[in-house]
């Protein structure tokens, strides 16, 4: 994942640089097996980033592939991401997709001084192996204190 910065309200931007603290995605990271034993893969990694700033000064970065993650920058600048919370792992036992387990396009919205609303999808989700496999959308809150 790369990042650019603007110091003039978005009129001009810096050159892209790697996002410090966000691990890259290797070819091996893009391969896994679903619970039925079928191989799955995806092409792009660390996609569709979304930023949201809490009133307490913590900046959140939601992104996907593999899975869904939320990175946190405690100083609110995004120069470095102190913590990464994995919400949807690379190969969970509840996704029967042959692509990545999710579109990798999460939503992240500040809903309080220390709380995010996180939205994400899971392809072919099933609570048990015998349950119907449905594309599903999940909504969760995440409390973040400094």
In the chain, where the domains are located:
15-143
| 130 SS3 class | coil
Position 137 scores a pLDDT of: 97
Give pLDDT, residue 44.
87
pLDDT along the chain (146 residues), means of 10: 93 94 92 94 90 98 95 95 95 93 95 97 95 96 93
Contact predicate 108/70, CB 8 Å? yes
DSSP lists the bridge partners of residue 118 as 108, 140
Beta bridge partners of 134: 125
| 57, 146 contact by CB (below 8 A) | yes
């Amino acid at each position: 994942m790369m990042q650019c910065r603007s110091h003039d309200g978005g009129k001009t931007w810096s050159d892209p640089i790697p996002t410090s603290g966000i691990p890259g995605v290797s070819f091996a990271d893009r391969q896994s097996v679903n619970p039925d034993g079928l191989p799955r893969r995806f092409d792009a990694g660390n996609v569709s980033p979304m930023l949201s700033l809490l009133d307490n000064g913590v900046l959140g970065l939601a992104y996907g592939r593999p899975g869904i993650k939320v990175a946190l920058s405690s100083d609110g600048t995004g120069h470095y991401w102190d913590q990464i919370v994995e919400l949807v792992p690379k190969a969970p036992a509840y996704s029967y997709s042959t692509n990545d387990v999710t579109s990798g396009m999460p939503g992240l919205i500040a809903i309080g001084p220390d709380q995010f609303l996180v939205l994400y999808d899971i392809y072919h989700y099933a609570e048990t192996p015998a349950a119907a496999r449905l594309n599903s959308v999940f909504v969760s809150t995440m409390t973040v204190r400094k």
